[in-house]
Amino acid sequence: MPNNIRNRPVPGWLKWLAAASLVPLLWLIFLAVDRPALSTVVNRMAADPLMLGLVLVAFAGAFAFRAYAWTLILPRLPYGQSWAGLHTALGGNHVLPLRLGEPLRVLSVVRRTGIGWQEATASTVTLRAADFFAIAVIGLVAGLGELSAWWTIVLVTGSGFMIGGVLWLRRLARSRAVNLPGPLALGLTAAAWLLEAVVIHQVSVWAGLDLGFSGAVLVTASAVVAQVVAVAPGGVGTYEAGGVAAMALLGVDPSVDNAVVLTAHVIKTAYALVVGAVATFLPSPGLFGRFQLGKPQPSGEPIPVGTSPDQPIVLFMPAYNEAATVGSVIARVPRQIVGRRVVTIVVDDGSSDETAELGRAAGAEVVRISPNRGLGAAVRTGLQEALTHDPVVISFCDADGEYAPEELENLVRPILDGEADYVAGSRFLGRIDRMHPHRRLGNVILTWLLSWVARRPISDGQTGYRALSRRAAESAEIIHDFNYAQVLTLDLLAKGMGYAEVPISYSFRTAGESFVKVGRYLRSVVPAVYREVNAR
């Protein structure tokens, strides 16, 4: 399904239409219902919680049957996502007018499983038509001919849609993993309606009526079929009208029928809203995508480390207008670590001062980006440039003097020892000389959120001092230019790279200006984190 369709928000006017259509219908129902009879039904229901629970189980069972029937037609559809699609649509129908929750069934499957929209739509049309075909047959039998003309219209209409859906599925089945509905799928659809009739049956018992199960089936069928022309969310008004009409044919006292149908509708609506809300998010991925990485899987594979002593350790520094500090920071970089030479690179991200010239004069290689693109782009460029040196480890830190290049060995040691692919220098495990209180609070909150999203303990999600093994650097993807901190961590963790943290020292910058502005930072980082988590 195209992204412009998949991600299109619900129009504001539609929400107002939903609200506006409910008001007069609820008022009419309030005037029509016999309040003493309604009070009796509600009180008896409240006094019988066990039976109410069984009624909800029966109603849930109806959707369990439908979910299984859907997986018979779409074998690639996991049962959990079939269940979620049905309940997302059910909840949507109770929020949106004109039964516009129905497309959510297709949307849920397409977004959450990767199944094509044609397969999802064709199977939905077929099963929904089978739903109405089955309820029409059941209603025709249960009504004993009383509503034969009305049921015949519904039966013919449902049959037409079902035939169209089957023909569509048949065409898709030639090239895709799609099955035509068989007797089991159709039988499950019919059985689902019988389970739904349990709701009306038990509510009528609480009302002191003896409808019998066939009567309950007829009332259920009438109420549901009436919802085909529903205007208000949840079929409010049309559901009651159809159910009351059927009960009138059965000779039920008019003072009781509306109370029975209204109570049954309230039970179904409560189920739809609660379970529909849950189904929006569970099982993962939810309708709005994933908010966490998958659970970490232990890996027993050894981490490959370069063996040639000629392979250097590369330290690069993304820099933007850091002329005041870049030279002194480069001068503090160790020339060798554990017998390996250290190559220093400055990635000048479109500076307007002498950052590049001073970096080169201090002995670093300089790579220039023009115009300024952002820290994420600078780190991406730095990784690419560092890989051209055939490194054993790549590390990077800011050029503003906040991080100590003398501590480089602490960063690269876990990688050289084969203990990790990706190492973060944690300020909160080490020493912080100075950090503004609001910065500290922001770091703590964002780190906690990153840890939750990553499903791993992380103590410093925004640190600017990190090291990567060669294989981590080769596979790293930074999906936006503004910043790298969270998306790089999530990318490497999602790819199974071993993660470690080491304590570092931190000194607040005394020159230049930080690029971090809270509003812009959150506007850029939060969507990028969402895209990263949902990239796979």
Spans of all domains in the chain: 13-281, 313-533
The vertex-282 CA angle with 278 and 284, nearest 5°, equals 160
Asked if 317 and 399 count as a contact pair (C-beta separation under 8 A), the reply is yes
Separation between Cα atoms, residue 495 and residue 476, nearest integer Å: 9
Closest by Cα among 275, 278, 236, 233 to 93: 233
Separation between Cα atoms, residue 80 and residue 101, nearest integer Å: 19
Query: What is the end-to-end Cα distance of the chain in Å, rounded?
Result: 17
Please report the pLDDT score of residue 5 as a whole number.
Answer: 40
When pLDDT is cut at 50, 70 and 90, the band that residue 184 belongs to is very high
Radius of gyration (C-alpha) of the chain in whole angstroms: 32
Closest by Cα among 536, 533, 114 to 292: 533
2 has a pLDDT exceeding 50: no
When pLDDT is cut at 50, 70 and 90, the band that residue 4 belongs to is very low
Q: What is the DSSP letter of 4?
A: H
413 has a pLDDT exceeding 80: yes
Separation between Cα atoms, residue 533 and residue 379, nearest integer Å: 20
Separation between Cα atoms, residue 531 and residue 480, nearest integer Å: 10
- Name which residue leads in pLDDT, 513 or 435: 435
Helix (H) or strand (E) holding 68: helix 49-73
Separation between Cα atoms, residue 111 and residue 96, nearest integer Å: 20
What count of other Cβ atoms lies within 10 Å of the Cβ of residue 454? 21
Task: Among 52-56, 123-127, 473-477, name the one with the lowest average pLDDT.
Answer: 123-127
Please report the pLDDT score of residue 240 as a whole number.
Answer: 80
Task: Average the pLDDT over 209-231 and give the result.
Answer: 85
Please report the pLDDT score of residue 251 as a whole number.
Answer: 86
When pLDDT is cut at 50, 70 and 90, the band that residue 246 belongs to is confident
- Name which residue leads in pLDDT, 19 or 258: 258
Asked if 342 and 335 count as a contact pair (C-beta separation under 8 A), the reply is yes
Q: What percent of the chain has pLDDT over 90?
A: 57
The vertex-496 CA angle with 427 and 531, nearest 5°, equals 80
When pLDDT is cut at 50, 70 and 90, the band that residue 158 belongs to is low
Question: Residue 350 phi/psi, 5° resolution?
Answer: 70, 35
Beta pairing, strands 365-369 & 422-432: unpaired
Task: Average the pLDDT over 9-33 and give the result.
Answer: 55
Please report the pLDDT score of residue 6 as a whole number.
Answer: 43
Quick one: how far is CA 150 from the chain centroid? 42
Separation between Cα atoms, residue 150 and residue 445, nearest integer Å: 61
When pLDDT is cut at 50, 70 and 90, the band that residue 7 belongs to is very low
CATH for the stretch 313-533: 3.90.550.10
207 has a pLDDT exceeding 80: yes
Question: Residue 291 phi/psi, 5° resolution?
Answer: -115, -5
Please report the pLDDT score of residue 239 as a whole number.
Answer: 87
Task: Average the pLDDT over 65-87 and give the result.
Answer: 96
Q: What is the DSSP letter of 399?
A: S
Q: What is the mean pLDDT of the chain?
A: 86
CA dihedral 369, 372, 374, 375 (to 10 degrees): 50
Q: What is the DSSP letter of 148?
A: H
What count of other Cβ atoms lies within 10 Å of the Cβ of residue 17? 18
Please report the pLDDT score of residue 72 as a whole number.
Answer: 95
Q: What is the DSSP letter of 352?
A: S
Task: Average the pLDDT over 40-67 and give the result.
Answer: 96
- Name which residue leads in pLDDT, 97 or 412: 412
Answer whether the bond into residue 304 is a cis peptide, omega within 30°.
no
26 has a pLDDT exceeding 80: no
273 has a pLDDT exceeding 50: yes
Scan for tokens 């020493």, then name that residue: 431
- Per-residue pLDDT of 357-394, as tens digits, reads 999 999 999 999 999 899 999 999 999 999 999 999 99
The vertex-291 CA angle with 288 and 295, nearest 5°, equals 130
Q: What is the DSSP letter of 522?
A: H
Task: Average the pLDDT over 222-230 and give the result.
Answer: 79
Please report the pLDDT score of residue 86 as a whole number.
Answer: 97
Please report the pLDDT score of residue 1 as a whole number.
Answer: 41
29 has a pLDDT exceeding 60: no
Separation between Cα atoms, residue 427 and residue 503, nearest integer Å: 6
CA separation, residue 341 to residues 332, 371, 476 (Å)? 14, 32, 24
Task: Average the pLDDT over 389-416 and give the result.
Answer: 95
Asked if 192 and 62 count as a contact pair (C-beta separation under 8 A), the reply is yes
Asked if 147 and 205 count as a contact pair (C-beta separation under 8 A), the reply is no
Beta pairing, strands 336-337 & 422-432: unpaired
- Per-residue pLDDT of 126-153, as tens digits, reads 998 888 888 878 877 776 555 555 556 6
Task: Average the pLDDT over 67-83 and give the result.
Answer: 96
| Token reading at 255 | 């003072």
| Token reading at 430 | 């080490």
- Per-residue pLDDT of 337-352, as tens digits, reads 999 999 999 999 999 9
- Per-residue pLDDT of 82-125, as tens digits, reads 999 999 999 999 888 778 888 999 999 999 998 999 999 999 99
Asked if 481 and 377 count as a contact pair (C-beta separation under 8 A), the reply is yes
Helices H / strands E in the chain, number of each: 20, 8
